[in-house]
Structure 1
């Protein structure tokens, strides 16, 4: 799902699949990889899974088939939410953190400006007054010009008021959002604050996943589809250190 939007079949288990994409493949990717496991019994006419699935088997020597691309275009929108299993986050060192979906039950305060990151199929960073469920519904609304049937997104932990205070006292204060100049970011924040009725304000035409510390990602990941939503919570920092130490220490 990040950075590859494709549907890929493989004989590899998740730990080996993530390692293959970050360390052992000719399609090597330097950075964090996000992928989800799909129910192997799931089928959709658009994806033509049965046309290719029989090719996914070990060779004569017993070596597993590492990857077989089934589809690369409009994949996410053609997978029902019920078909998603675990979400996996691969570090640059090939270690895999597995996230399980859970109900999203958080109660939100109103009047709070949040920073959302769209990961698939669009890539963008957006300031929004919406809660995560409201934001997910908005960006999958077919009546909106910037939308898709399903979207994977997360929230960046960004203390906006603290940033504005520090930039005021230090004009050279570094922007916490990669590829967005600090003073340009300030302008975008002030515009969002001045026009809360707009609901959201884009601040980057690309996502920053892998360019900011993983611990700067807040709460978890969402796959939104109108009013429906899958939520994959991120373990707390303490849980990452205590229960997922091998993965945590492999982060950049």
Structure 2
């Protein structure tokens, strides 16, 4: 029997998947490979070999071989993120709807001298889009703090570009922002500015379509209760254009919100 080499946590939808496919092949398969599945983006993490080895059983191997030696096998579709130790996440992978994969490696988190306000897209286990006065690590700590009235045991999210709105909700030059209903976004930022004791405000309750990867700024953030935090930084735009051009070109062509 051929042992599956990879274990992934997929976010869209949340699931734990064993596979013989390397990240680039797995991303392409998830985004475009099945005729039964609509074409679409994918975001997933590769788990460490040590963690995979502790979870994959002989029964999993047998079931994969019965299906097809190169197919993938869902191991779980419930509370996967919170049940996976944060140190087991080896790399993050952003896949465009035509199967191009960008790999992000973890790095020590470096707070940036960012704007006054931030726009965050949550990916798993919930998918609202929110504005916040908290920088990414502060936002992560608050939303995974069980002492808060509403909290999550774990969360994957990313910061999206706000441009001049990040400092001034009344800024006029916002033509480069691709988000629908900019006036509603402005209203959320205005409310955040006026209510100093309220650090977050929901803009959209549910992610209704693909996210424009080109709007991601900073990187992908993974948070867990107890102040645990991992950061998978995005390459600079110049690096994307030079070293990851096929992915970047695909990201620029994609439609989303």
CA deviation after TM superposition for structure 1 residue 209, in Å: 7.0
The residue number in structure 1 matching 2:12 is 3
TM-score after normalising by structure 2: 0.83
1:21 to 14, 19, 30: 30
The residue number in structure 2 matching 1:106 is 111
Moved more, 28-37 or 74-83: 28-37
Question: Matched residues in 1 for 2:63 and 2:190: separation?
Answer: 52
The residue number in structure 2 matching 1:12 is 21
2:57 to 50, 53, 59: 50
Question: Matched residues in 1 for 2:184 and 2:64: separation?
Answer: 51
Question: Matched residues in 1 for 2:184 and 2:109: separation?
Answer: 33
Moved more, 184-193 or 232-241: 184-193
CA deviation after TM superposition for structure 1 residue 203, in Å: 1.0
The residue number in structure 2 matching 1:157 is 161
SS at match of 1:41: helix
The residue number in structure 2 matching 1:177 is 179
Paired residues for 1:8-157 under 5 Å: 8-42=17-51, 49-50=56-57, 52-55=59-62, 57-58=64-65, 64-108=69-113, 112-157=116-161
Paired residues for 1:235-246 under 5 Å: 235-246=235-246
**Equivalenced residues, count:** 240
The residue number in structure 2 matching 1:205 is 205
CA deviation after TM superposition for structure 1 residue 162, in Å: 6.3
TM-score after normalising by structure 1: 0.84
Q: CA RMSD in A?
A: 2.8
SS at match of 1:141: coil
- Verify the 8 A CA contact 1:10 1:56 in the aligned structure 2: no
Paired residues for 1:182-197 under 5 Å: 182-197=182-197
Gaps of 5+ in 1: none
